[in-house]
Amino acid sequence: MRWFLLLMLTASAISSGSVLAESKGWQLFERSQQAVQTRNFDASYVVFKGEQITSFRWMHGLSEQQSLEQLVPLDVDGIDILRKGKVVYYLTPEKPALITLSSYIKELPSLLYQSVEDLQQLYDPVSGSVSQMGGRSAQLLRLTAYHPGRLSYWLWLDVETGFPLRIDTVAERHQVLERWQVTHLQLSPQLPEALNALLELSLPIPDRSQLQVTDSKADTSDITLAWLPSGFKLAEDTPGLPRLGMPLLQYWLLSDGLHQVSVFVQQPNQQPPQAYRDGATTIYVQSAEHFDVTVIGPVTLDIARQIADAVRYD
């Protein structure tokens, strides 16, 4: 009996320690989300995808409780992405503005804007060691995926402010597929000077048709998707059908609340399977007797292949 009680006490201590560690991990993550959503800052960052490197300037601030944000790709001329509240503007010279509704700019790491309650169903948070990064002390936080085939994330968070300094998108066996890293960060109590001009900028008024979400489901009910990866669901509302230069027989958008995977079904081309990887994004094309299937999204090649295999023609 004594050994049994000792075993129960030991198990209880281990369980309590695990719960406390998980709670601490999510507290660190929530602090990071608050930093990018509530602070005034002017930052620069780079994104590494294999040998490809792109750089951006990112500014955020609050003015009379309205959130203002600007993202400028430094490697591409003439593109400016602005957000006022929940309206996002994509501005290019001599072209009509593209306007969408969103509480954040989609080109930023979506991990920083998703509901913690949803993420808790997908990831196990484990805090790591503290290291130096760009002259700042950075706390490592690993978000390890529960389900096989799902990508994990390693975050380095500024110890003082919680601001994310680096985010690695990691596959199995700790393979880094993409890296997002801050190269300059200036936090201030005032709105960044560049955003003051945004308050005075005359932006186009969004037309209702520009903001309307349409049902993108095709009418071809004979083509079905018989399997979804664990944690994914068919998105109920999706943007209009993408234009790929060829008519689509069917289209699905899968989402787990954080990632999105597009599945396109087109006329058969009778080509051998093709697979590509752009950072964390897998592009897989598979040809069958009645159609071709293209799967695009941040999943492993094995998951993309299983999705393609699950497309049925009845």
- Residue in 280, 274, 287, 225 with CA at minimum distance from that of residue 250: 225
CB atoms near residue 194 (< 10 Å):
13
Q: CB within 8 A of 239, min separation 6: which ones?
A: 213, 214, 216
Domain boundary among 183, 209, 235: 209
At 222, the amino acid letter reads D
- Residue 87 is encoded by which pair of tokens? 């309206």
User: Are 69 and 193 part of one and the same domain?
Assistant: yes
CB atoms near residue 206 (< 10 Å):
15
Domain boundary among 178, 209, 240: 209
- Residue 186 is encoded by which pair of tokens? 């200036």
**pLDDT confidence of residue 140:** 97
Q: pLDDT by residue (tens digit) across 75-128?
A: 776 678 999 988 888 887 777 777 888 888 988 998 999 989 989 989 999 999
Give me the CATH number covering residue 290.
Answer: 3.30.200.100
User: Are 68 and 185 part of one and the same domain?
Assistant: yes
- If one counts the domains in the chain, the total is 2
The answer to whether residue 5 is domain-embedded is no
| Global confidence as pTM | 0.76
Assign 147 a pLDDT band (cuts: 50, 70, 90): confident
The answer to whether residue 175 is domain-embedded is yes
Q: pLDDT by residue (tens digit) across 251-310?
A: 899 988 888 899 999 888 878 888 888 888 898 999 888 889 999 999 888 999 999 999
Residue-number span of the structural domain to which 127 is assigned = 18-209
The answer to whether residue 8 is domain-embedded is no
User: Are 164 and 84 part of one and the same domain?
Assistant: yes
The answer to whether residue 66 is domain-embedded is yes
**Would you say how long the chain is, in residues?**
314
User: Are 40 and 88 part of one and the same domain?
Assistant: yes
User: Are 181 and 124 part of one and the same domain?
Assistant: yes
Domain boundary among 160, 180, 209: 209
Decide: 134 and 274 in contact? Cβ < 8 Å: no
CB atoms near residue 116 (< 10 Å):
12
The answer to whether residue 98 is domain-embedded is yes
Percent of the chain residues past pLDDT 70, beyond the cut: 83
The answer to whether residue 145 is domain-embedded is yes
Give me the CATH number covering residue 183.
Answer: 2.50.20.10
User: Are 33 and 122 part of one and the same domain?
Assistant: yes
